[in-house]
Structure 1
Amino acid sequence: MSKIINQIRHFFERHGFYVSSRFADKLGMRAKNVRLFFIYLSFATFGAWFAVYLTLAFLLKFKDMLYAKRTSVFDL
């Protein structure tokens, strides 16, 4: 079982890292820096979408506070 897992891991390492190596060759950079860029970019976009989510949640809560539906005229 361990041999199969190692073969799968080596396959993805050979073919998966080749993409970042090609980008690095085209840009004249090290492959390590390209990989780090993709890792940081993935964290940054996750954080950005989480911030968008929190902002929308705050705006919806704020809208509900301002435009509360009143059941009668005497609730002012």
Structure 2
Amino acid sequence: MKKLVSNIRYYFERNGFYVSSRLADRLGMRVKSVRLFFIYVSFATLGVGFAIYLTLAFWLKLKDLIYTKRTSVFDL
């Protein structure tokens, strides 16, 4: 079992982690630039999703404050 896990790990290290290097070679760029680009894009997309979440939460809270149903005149 340990040998199987080791073989799978070796396969992914050999083939899967070579993506940045191959892409950089194909584009004629440095590997460091490609890796930094992926890091910045991942932070940017995480930030955009979080900002959308906060905006929707704010709108829902605002909607609840404005459109509350009152049962009588004395609830004002």
Q: Give the match for residue 15 of structure 1.
A: 15
2:29 aligned with 1:53: no
How far apart, in 1, do the equivalents of 2:12 and 2:33 lie? Answer: 19
Q: 1:36 to 1:13 in 2, by over 3 A?
A: farther
Q: Give the match for residue 28 of structure 2.
A: 28
How far apart, in 2, do the equivalents of 1:32 and 1:46 lie? Answer: 21
Q: Give the match for residue 62 of structure 2.
A: 62
Specify the SS of the correspondent of 1:35.
helix
Cα offset, 1:16, TM superposition = 2.9
TM-score by length of 2: 0.74
Cα offset, 1:23, TM superposition = 1.1
Measured on the aligned residues, the alpha-carbon RMSD in Å equals 2.0
Q: Give the match for residue 40 of structure 2.
A: 40
Unaligned runs of 5+ in 1: none
Unaligned runs of 5+ in 2: none
Between the aligned residues of both structures, percent identity stands at 72
Specify the SS of the correspondent of 1:71.
coil
Specify the SS of the correspondent of 2:16.
helix
Specify the SS of the correspondent of 2:29.
coil
Residue correspondences, number: 75
